[in-house]
A and B are shown apart, each in its own frame.
Chain A
């Protein structure tokens, strides 16, 4: 989230699209209820199904799964055409005036530079024009046909309301009504908040869905302000923490990058990361990259990380591919290239696409280790459960070890919520049986491995032997110790650069925050964005003061949020060029003549004069991007692409299947279907009664939603002769499931390209372990392909067929 849950109460308009907040985030949704009740805010829901969120919405419109970009580009077009643009914001705080290279263009659904053989773009032309001083060229009058604004105008021109209706199936009158409601928030004193989740990410162009809304929000001036923002509702408790801490194969903590093979040494690695400002006087905060990176290396390897060793850079693995995401790992496993798989808090048998392939892949492992508080289907993948897991245990040689772990309620630590708040928690119960904390388990593995390296040697033992492990009890580092390490401390005494006699931090003390980190080896910090969370003031994550002066919703003294306890990112953009609040009724920060002050921690150097330093300090431009240069693999503007399995051809280019740069493995291509074979659109989702595959173990949740079902329209039920509550078979090119049928008015056929499109809704909470009835999940059916930028699988749009099941359901 750019903003916080509590800030949603400040909004005038909530749009829930690409998510189902009431259903999947009922507790956070209370802030929507609050905004509706006390501000008279309106709620718009755009979703293939009339959801629980829609049940309390002021406006609902259906949309065909996987066509959000067309809808959003249509919105942008409408805003421009109807002059619903926050011009001050667009001109000052976005790159609208930047000139784009002459050789950049878009045609037949593709941007310039496409290489069909490589399924990739040469992105060189997706850039600004630069002057001799190295700064980007601009036209503040927005007259130049090559300026971003005019390029955007041309790009969205095709997305007329008629075009949008034809692609998305959203009735034109509803689209136009929503456009009017959204358009009102282009006024400086009106805001809209976008709440989205996996309904946008789980597509082969998921990142571009989000870009589309982010651009719309920038045009309306709704970023960096109270009640605005792009608010990603994270799907798991602490999944925000997972990304923050860099638990992805290509990330290090704090969104630093794992080096690649093309970066064999420190200098090469740093060269491409310390972005120089692209406009004069801008902050370009990533110029500090080396301070965060060196402090991280010091936290990892202490005295072994020296300037002479390039901070032990050679200890870091170098990626030979962009990422070892879960799709790639299971592809490799399926090819027999993986011997051991550690599965920690993850149930891939149900959570990953194309289950049949994953069962085969797991059976090729020598050893599978599952660390989980619960029985998972993955740990039992070898067990026969009739139709629900029809395998032959005798044919599976994989050794499986289950390590029972504690759950969140049984240990201490912090959880990071969607709003980037690190909230400390204490154990509420004692773990049952032999369950141990994940930290204890990892420590035991590490200590034994280190001992083996010490006694037996091995290839490259140094990164293991020299890993810093200075915990009071090496067997079980405490949450407090780990948190203090993430905050970072001074290794030698830090003094004021302007006055060396002034001591800032004594050696051994916690740094105040990341502004004190250094790239000379005098500081260590496990995760720079968490720096400030546990400094010499103590554990700021444990703060529980919910006072909120003037009811701004910032709650500065409740827990701690990264970065720097800032609650609304880009909050400098809430003030105008002179530093005055753009909406006097909702001030956030302002310039008092000498410095920035206000209700939130300013997202700008406090002494940076207004009018000079622009609000988007992480971008070398200083402004936000309507045109994202080469930052994304699939284009600098979002463009409509069909899902890999779709009932419609891409209207721009009928040779194009899915996202033209999404990575697909050859063996999976054969398993993509056409709408001739599979006429209906499947989409998967969560229900409020359950949390993923966990709560089916809990009897009360099992009572609330006991059994796997699919949802279909009355029209499709009639067409296929399906009765409410009857058993149906749903199958895709990859597998088949059996479910009860919920026949509902909440799903309606959509008219796209002149033809009706039927949606089959498939909730995901059942499996073959737990208290609830045995069932299937949607991922027996889903295709094995992910987003072009971050590889999130396309769970939200695929093709299926459905028929009533003959005879009685199999128990």
Chain B
């Protein structure tokens, strides 16, 4: 009898359908660099991207959380159960995103609502973290809106944590640098969507250009209004210039219902006041020439420090960026 095995699958279209995004962004696309006086002026403007999280579609399955751990190779602690569904109990340097669960008794409808929000970096257009950061090149922003941390340049002062209106960055005790969601900049750079969006079974998380995501949100909001959520709306708060991670909320009039989502986030006054040409602390010598090494780190190294890297952590704290050559520029897609 035949021992043949089946031929390999031929997939006509991926399911769910994914259209490759324009690939490739790099040092040329930086619009902001922390603690750097000479902000670069890019020659081109990338199309702003956004991740849209439709809270009304989310079933709280944590596939996104799991995908984030897998993609970023982090190793979060196996904690205890403390009487809630949030695990880990908070964002950690090893857990860049977290499902937060709120049991809300809606007095108007007399219904219980279980509001489940995927927490994580909002990728603010006007990033408080970056503005608060005193270490040159530790936090950067690309013209597509992604805000990324460059660990080699981070000095572990934690100012970004107080600068963030969403309480997102977390300081690692292992390498004394700060971690948060990268918006999967390493995936987006090669034309892929974020790992969390890819894993989401209900497509509650979608990713694309910010304009497309807003249009998609409109459709969802209309659907929610038809189901009686009169205050359904988009969360794209103006106080931080809008965000590149947005929510569709059933109760957009009350964001704070969703476990700590600020109603009206703004960058703390102290950060804004402090911001200025004098804010760098002795590291101002970093010039644009160093940008190459920053980008090299973004594109070629994992964003997280693995256990094996732990021993070298001490060196990284050193402010000097590793002397590295600028990587070859990739062709524009």
Spell out A's residues near B (CB within 8 Å): 22-23, 26-27, 29-30, 33, 36-37, 40, 42, 50, 52-56, 58, 60, 412, 424, 426, 470-473, 478-481, 484, 538-539, 541-542, 544-547, 688-689, 699-709, 723-726, 740-746, 771-773
Which residue of B is nearest A555, CB measured?
A: B15
Our pick among A424, A484, A704, A740 for the contact of B80 (Cβ within 8 Å) is: A740
A252 to B3 alpha-carbon distance, docked (Å): 25
* In contact, B78 and A539 (Cβ under 8 angstroms): no
Question: Across the interface, which residues of B come within 8 angstroms of A709, CB to CB?
Answer: 81, 83
Interface check B289, CB cutoff 8 A = no
Q: Nearest Cβ distance between residue B98 and chain A, in whole angstroms?
A: 10
* In contact, B201 and A470 (Cβ under 8 angstroms): no
Question: Across the interface, which residues of B come within 8 angstroms of A724, CB to CB?
Answer: 82-84
Could you list some 16 contacts between A and B, CB below 8 A? Answer: A26-B59, A55-B113, A56-B57, A58-B227, A470-B1, A484-B2, A541-B6, A542-B9, A547-B12, A688-B60, A688-B62, A689-B62, A689-B87, A706-B87, A707-B80, A708-B81
Question: Across the interface, which residues of B come within 8 angstroms of A746, CB to CB?
Answer: 103, 112, 114
* In contact, B62 and A473 (Cβ under 8 angstroms): no
Our pick among B3, B204, B226 for the contact of A481 (Cβ within 8 Å) is: B3
Question: Across the interface, which residues of B come within 8 angstroms of A541, CB to CB?
Answer: 6
* In contact, B4 and A546 (Cβ under 8 angstroms): no
Question: Across the interface, which residues of A come within 8 angstroms of B9, CB to CB?
Answer: 424, 426, 542, 544
- Prevailing SS type, chain B contact patch: loop
Question: Across the interface, which residues of B come within 8 angstroms of A771, CB to CB?
Answer: 78
* In contact, A479 and B62 (Cβ under 8 angstroms): no
A55 to B104 alpha-carbon distance, docked (Å): 11
Our pick among A471, A473, A725 for the contact of B82 (Cβ within 8 Å) is: A725
A36 to B219 alpha-carbon distance, docked (Å): 12
Question: Across the interface, which residues of A come within 8 angstroms of B10, CB to CB?
Answer: 544-545
Q: A22-B61, A700-B70, A745-B105 are in contact. Are A480 and B202 (CB under 8 A)?
A: no
Spell out B's residues near A (CB within 8 Å): 1-13, 15-16, 56-63, 65-66, 69-70, 75-85, 87-88, 95, 103, 105, 111-116, 201-204, 219-220, 223, 226-227
Which residue of B is nearest A414, CB measured?
A: B6
Q: A55-B113, A700-B69 are in contact. Are A37 and B201 (CB under 8 A)?
A: no
A541 to B7 alpha-carbon distance, docked (Å): 11
A206 to B147 alpha-carbon distance, docked (Å): 53
A56 to B57 alpha-carbon distance, docked (Å): 6
Q: A22-B61, A53-B59 are in contact. Are A29 and B3 (CB under 8 A)?
A: no
Which residue of B is nearest A56, CB measured?
A: B59
Q: A26-B61, A37-B223 are in contact. Are A478 and B203 (CB under 8 A)?
A: no
Q: Nearest Cβ distance between residue B222 and chain A, in whole angstroms?
A: 10
A706 to B83 alpha-carbon distance, docked (Å): 12
Which residue of A is nearest B115, CB measured?
A: A55
* In contact, A704 and B70 (Cβ under 8 angstroms): no
A479 to B2 alpha-carbon distance, docked (Å): 11
A726 to B83 alpha-carbon distance, docked (Å): 7
* In contact, B3 and A703 (Cβ under 8 angstroms): no
A707 to B10 alpha-carbon distance, docked (Å): 42
Q: A26-B59, A52-B61, A478-B3 are in contact. Are A742 and B66 (CB under 8 A)?
A: no
A481 to B1 alpha-carbon distance, docked (Å): 7
Q: Nearest Cβ distance between residue B88 and chain A, in whole angstroms?
A: 7
Question: Across the interface, which residues of B come within 8 angstroms of A470, CB to CB?
Answer: 1
* In contact, A546 and B12 (Cβ under 8 angstroms): yes
Our pick among A26, A55, A539 for the contact of B7 (Cβ within 8 Å) is: A539
Question: Across the interface, which residues of A come within 8 angstroms of B16, CB to CB?
Answer: 30
Closest 8 CB pairs of A and B: A725-B83, A724-B83, A55-B114, A707-B81, A22-B59, A544-B9, A542-B6, A539-B6
